[in-house]
Amino acid sequence: MADDKSNAAKYWKANVRLIAGCLVVWAFVSYGCAILFRPLLAGIPVGGTDLGFWFAQQGSILTFIGIIFFYAWKMNKLDKKFGLEE
């Protein structure tokens, strides 16, 4: 029972770490590249405008999709590693 508990606690810690990492990327592309750092990226041209604009209207959404699939894939591996899958 105690082992089960510490196993589940370790699993949860690994999950929270993974979430934190994913959220950093999530915030970086949307709040970072698309909004706050747009002036810094103004020098990088993308088809008639700049990289920040592309991130705001295309890049961030594409990255979001990547993050969710990466998280789902990683969590499936974690589920198995800790023997906590269904």
Partner 1 sequence: MSQFAINLLFVGASFALYIGIAIWARAGSTKDFYVAGGGVHPITNGMATAADWMSAASFISMAGLLASGGYANSTFLMGWTGGYVILAMLLAPYLRKFGKFTVPDFIGDRFYSNTARLVAVVCLIVASVTYVIGQMTGAGVAFSRFLEVSNTWGIWLAALIVFLYAVFGGMKGITYTQVAQYVVLIIAYTIPAVFIAFQLTGNPIPMFGMFSTHTESGIPLLEKLDDVVNALGFRDYTADVDNKLNMVLFTLSLMVGTAGLPHVIIRFFTVPKVADARWSAGWALVFIALLYLTAPAVGSMARLNLATTVYPEMAGQVENYEEAAQNPILYEERPDWVRTWEETGLINFTDLNNDGRIQMYNDSADFSDRGWEGNELTVNNDILVLANPEIANLPSWVIGLIAAGGIAAALSTAAGLLLAISSAISHDLIKTMINPKITEKGEMLAARISMGGAILLATYLGLNPPGFAAQTVALAFGIAGASLFPALMMGIFSTRMNNSGAVAGMLAGLLSTLLYIFTFLGWFFVPDTNMLANTPDNWIFGISPLSFGAVGAMINFAVAFAVCSVTKAPPQEIQDLVESVRFPKGAGIAVDH
34-53: contacts with partner 1 (CB under 8 A): 34-36, 38-39, 46-50, 52-53
Decide: is 81 part of the binding site for partner 1 (CB under 8 A): no
Q: Spell 42-64 as b/e; 16+ CB within 10 A means b.
A: eeeeeeeebbbbbbbeebbeebe
Asked if 84 and 12 count as a contact pair (C-beta separation under 8 A), the reply is no
Q: Which residues bind to partner 1, rule: CB under 8 A? A: 5, 8, 11-12, 15-16, 19, 22-23, 26, 30-31, 34-36, 38-39, 46-50, 52-54, 56-58, 60-62, 64-65, 67-69, 71-72, 75-76, 79, 82-86
